[in-house]
Amino acid sequence: MALAAQQVIKGERIFWVDATRMRIGFQGSLYKLDGNYSLVTFTDAPFGACGSGHDFAMGALAVMGSRLAPEKRIRKALEAAARFDLYTAAPFQIVSK
């Protein structure tokens, strides 16, 4: 299973992981944890993506705005990435606490 585009909506406790990266939304901030354990704060967008389909997912998130629930936005962004990126494919697993 390819989990090429991982999404996090800023301010929500929603995250997911691939083998080397994690995006974490916690208390209104968005963080990127990479495979080398570096932790970086996102400041240029209220969402983030990684993997081969990240450009498609970021574009989908940018045009959707905030009119949908966070998990629905994540799923739609992943579906857009899967449609246009060869290495992104369902099934997707979204974890929310």
- What is the token pair recorded at 55? 């450009």
Q: CATH for 6-86?
A: 3.60.20.10
Phi-psi region of 67 (alpha: psi -120 to 50; beta: other; left: phi over 0): alpha
- Give the mean pLDDT per block of 10 residues along the chain (97 residues): 40 51 76 78 76 89 87 92 93 80
From CA 28, how far away is CA 94, in angstroms rounded?
19
Q: Where are the alpha helices (DSSP H) in the chain?
A: 54-64, 70-84
Residue type, position 33, single letter: L
Sequence ranges of the domains in the chain: 6-86
pTM of the model: 0.66
From CA 93, how far away is CA 80, in angstroms rounded?
15
